[in-house]
Chain A
């Protein structure tokens, strides 16, 4: 297993466009998390899944954001009608529900909204 994979690595989009990011977790991990990180800040929690169930969504997340994990494997994060404030690094991590909950992060998708 090569770890957590995120695509694309970089995305530049015009304001108002929709974007979709993909995350492929470590195959045996049943939990998957999305975080957003802006410059100089720690990763900010967005949402997480256990298998295909979305267990929690941050109150900070507007209705323009949606995430899915249809078969309990890969996940997608979609942002509709992007705004300049959406520019950030979007990080995906996965872990096992059992055990100590060690997170493995992907390399992230850097979104720039122009």
Chain B
């Protein structure tokens, strides 16, 4: 039931792009993306709902393929502040009635 994230780790230079994937074996109602820095709480990035909506937040965007039960997070022109661990969380089913189940995380390191 836990979503699977790939890759497990990414190392980038400033200005490079990255894609983080999240896939589930069960039908999804929504996918939530969070970033967590060491020793801190997860910080909300965005939510994607059924319907394939693509959302954008500054240089971070994401997509949700409902049929494939997959979501991807796109980090464009990465900045040093993007470093951290990215988690996708999924809510299964047909409505917002369940709890978030998190993937194992993708560690992103952006170097100068």
B40/A33 in contact, CB under 8 A: no
Q: Is A8 an interface residue (CB 8 A)?
A: no
Tally of A interface residues using CB under 8 Å: 23
User: Which residues between 82 and 96 of chain B lie within 8 Å of chain A, taking CB atoms?
Assistant: 87, 89, 91, 96
* Complex partner residue of B100 from A45, A56, A97, A106, CB under 8 angstroms: A45
Whole-angstrom CA separation of A45 from B40 in the bound complex: 18
CB pair B96 A107 closer than 8 Å: no
Report Cα–Cα, A97/B40, bound state, in Å: 25
How far does the alpha carbon of A35 sit from the alpha carbon of B96 in the complex, in Å? Answer: 18
**Are A102's CB and B44's CB within 8 A?**
yes
Chain A residue at minimum C-beta to C-beta distance from B29: A101
Bound CA span A44–B87, Å:
12
With A and B bound together, what is the CA distance between A41 and B104 in angstroms? 5
B49 closest partner in A (C-beta): A100
Instruction: Decide if B41 touches A42 in the complex (CB within 8 Å).
Output: no
Inter-chain contact A105/B101, CB cutoff 8 Å = no
Q: Which residue of A has the minimal Cβ distance to B8?
A: A40
Q: Which of A33, A102, A106, A108 contacts B99 (CB 8 A)?
A: A33
Q: Do residues A97 and B104 form an inter-chain contact, with CB atoms below 8 A?
A: no
B87 touches A42 (CB 8 A): yes
Number of B residues, CB within 8 Å of A: 22
Report the separation of the CA atoms of residues A104 and B49 in the bound assembly, to the nearest whole angstrom. Answer: 18
Q: Which of B2, B44, B49 contacts A103, CB < 8 Å?
A: B44
- Complex interface residues of chain A between 43 and 88 (CB less than 8 A to chain B): 43-45, 48, 56
* Contact across chains for A45 and B101 when beta carbons are under 8 A apart: yes
How far is A41 from B36 in the complex, measured between Cα atoms in Å?
11
CA distance A48 to B91 in the complex (A): 14
Residues of chain B within 8 A (CB-CB) of A103 are 32, 44, 89, 100
B104 touches A101 (CB 8 A): no
Is there contact, CB below 8 Å, between A100 and B47?
A: yes
In the bound complex, how far is the Cα of B42 from the Cα of A91, in angstroms?
9
Q: How far is the CB of A82 from chain B (nearest CB, A)?
A: 21
Q: Are A106 and B96 in contact (CB under 8 A)?
A: no
* Complex Cα spacing A44 to B105, Å: 12
